[in-house]
Amino acid sequence: MAANGASCEQPQKRAGPKDKQNGKSTDLLLRERRQKDKEDRLSLVLWRRPVVTLHYFLLETLVKLKEWTFELWHRRGTVFVFLLLCFLFSITYSTDGSHQTYVQYLEKKVLWCAYWVGLGILSSVGLGTGLHTFLLYLGPHIASVTLAAYECGSIDFPEPPYPDQIICPQDGGLEDSISIFSIMSKVRLEACMWGAGTAIGELPPYFMARAARQSGTDPDDEDYEEFEEMLEQAQGAQDFVTRAKLGVQHMVQKVGFFGILACASIPNPLFDLAGITCGHFLVPFWTFFGATLIGKAIIKMHIQKLFVIITFSKHIVEQMVSLIGSVPTIGPSLQKPFSQYLEAQKTKLHHAGKNGPADENWLSWVFEKVVLVMVCYFVISIINSMAQSYAKRLQQLRHSEEKSK
């Protein structure tokens, strides 16, 4: 019996190194297959394969609609309460009475806040490339309020047409009475709502990583896969980007609330990693969202506001225009359109109830076209991203069928 036992144990000992070698080769083949699948998906873009990309985009849209429909059906109680509230609000909105003054005020404020929250979400939610709404919308809004405040000597712009259009008040004011803090208070609501939107947009990576950790399943997300690979290869990290990502991950994991707050309070392109890290290590929701909301909607937003207001204050703008004119050869030709644009904006501020000058400066025309191009690229990136998501679904289905055979 002992001999038989020994003879049974010997083949198991010899098979150990082979099993390890087979395991390594299997891991290598799996990584190569994942890399090849990723390259195939990334090649699925509108300018290379337009027909297939649009086809996959439409199919992914139908899949998402089906998933959302089932999700809403599972939460039909909440949906019913929401629809009931909307119905009651519509009755209140359409019924005449003394309450209409408050209803109109509430409608205006809610729509204004929802506009900026929506732009903040679009800036950080990760749809396609993300829409840089601070540069396109909030930054120009703060700049226009700053220029108008110094020109009008007041921030009490008549409402309406503010905020759709800025017109100086009739009584005017003293330029010396304008301070940075008064301008910051004028745009505080818009800036804080935009910052709150960016905080909400950081939630999907957190929920995705948290669900993956709790369920043990492999999520359909490239960033999470890169995060897991980064954790596996943490000791051998050499390049600056990987070390920076590991630094963010260690700060969030070790410091907790204040680490998240520090990462959210400064312009940080790696903050998506903080959300994934918090979800992966099961950081409580209110710890993550509370720190993110305070950092983005209060601390970071005041830093960005202060920078824009200082940059577009009257004396800084005048110095910038004079510096442009001092550039050799091309300076005067560049200075002229900038000066004309500023003068046109100042003239427009004093045309209460009128249309003002009809001349369009080429700077405003260029800015409008830049905004249009960036919005179009954002839409294209969403189409590409959704088409690639559907391609990944097909790849996973094919691999599962191969395993079952």
What would the mean pLDDT of 84-88 be, rounded to a whole number?
Answer: 90
pLDDT of residue 375: 81
Q: How confident is the model at residue 82 (pLDDT cuts 50, 70, 90)?
A: very high
Residue 28 Cα distances to 32, 216, 239, angstroms: 6, 22, 22
CA-CA distance, 380 to 387, in Å (whole number)?
A: 11
For tokens 């008040």, what's the residue? 169
Per domain, the residue ranges of the chain are 104-311, 365-396
What would the mean pLDDT of 95-118 be, rounded to a whole number?
Answer: 88
pLDDT of residue 235: 53
- Predicted structure pTM score: 0.73
Asked if the model's pLDDT at residue 357 lies above 80, the reply is no
For 26-66, what is each residue's pLDDT tens digit? 667 777 777 787 788 888 888 888 899 999 999 989 998 99
Asked if the model's pLDDT at residue 10 lies above 90, the reply is no
Residue 240 Cα distances to 266, 267, 288, angstroms: 19, 18, 26
Backbone φ and ψ for 44, nearest 5 degrees, come out as -85, 85
Q: How far is Cα of residue 401 from the mean position of the Cα atoms in its chain?
A: 37
Asked if the model's pLDDT at residue 150 lies above 50, the reply is yes
| Both structure tokens of 30 | 């799996």
What is the separation, in whole angstroms, between the first and last Cα of the chain?
Answer: 40
What would the mean pLDDT of 389-400 be, rounded to a whole number?
Answer: 84
Whether residue 390 contacts residue 56, with contact meaning beta carbons closer than 8 Å, is answered with: yes
- DSSP code for 399: H
